[in-house]
Amino acid sequence: MKQFLLVFLGGGFGSILRYYISKNLNAYYSNFYLGTFLVNIIGCLLIGLLIGLTLKNNYISENQTLLLATGFCGGFTTFSTFALESNILLKESTLFQTSLYMGLSVAIGILAISLGLWICKML
């Protein structure tokens, strides 16, 4: 139960911060989501640092990883998780499988959004 609470708390803080940054920075450019872009890149950097510290010398405990990487970074941006998993695939799989995962994730994600919008339009 403690693990779920750590993920919940981290995710809540990450989501609030993502909303604040995006709300304030996305308004600066009409054709580029600066806040979302920065959140995604910062989230990738943070999850890389957190996982790197954990792998290097167990500097971060399992509970801290749940709070910060799974919770905070997951709430801050799911893109960081996608990027981490893609990096793992690059190391553990073939370039084809990695490209397939990445390409399908982006393409089908965009198609799923389009489908959802279309369904709502038809209702």
Q: For 12-68, write each residue's pLDDT tens digit.
A: 999 999 999 999 998 888 778 899 899 999 999 999 899 888 888 888 899 999 999
- Is it the case that residue 123 has pLDDT exceeding 80? no
- Is it the case that residue 112 has pLDDT exceeding 80? yes
Contact (CB, 8 A) for 36 and 22? yes
Distance of CA 115 to the CA centre of its chain: 22
Q: Which residues contact 66 (CB under 8 A, 6 or more apart)?
A: 3, 6, 7, 10
Q: What is the pLDDT of residue 28?
A: 86
* Residue 77, annotated as binding a ligand: yes
* Residue 70, annotated as binding a ligand: no
What pTM, to 2 d.p., does this model score? Answer: 0.77
In our burial notation (b when 16+ CB lie closer than 10 A, e otherwise), range 58-71 reads: eebeeeebbbbbbb
Rounded Cα–Cα distance for residues 79 and 3 (Å): 22
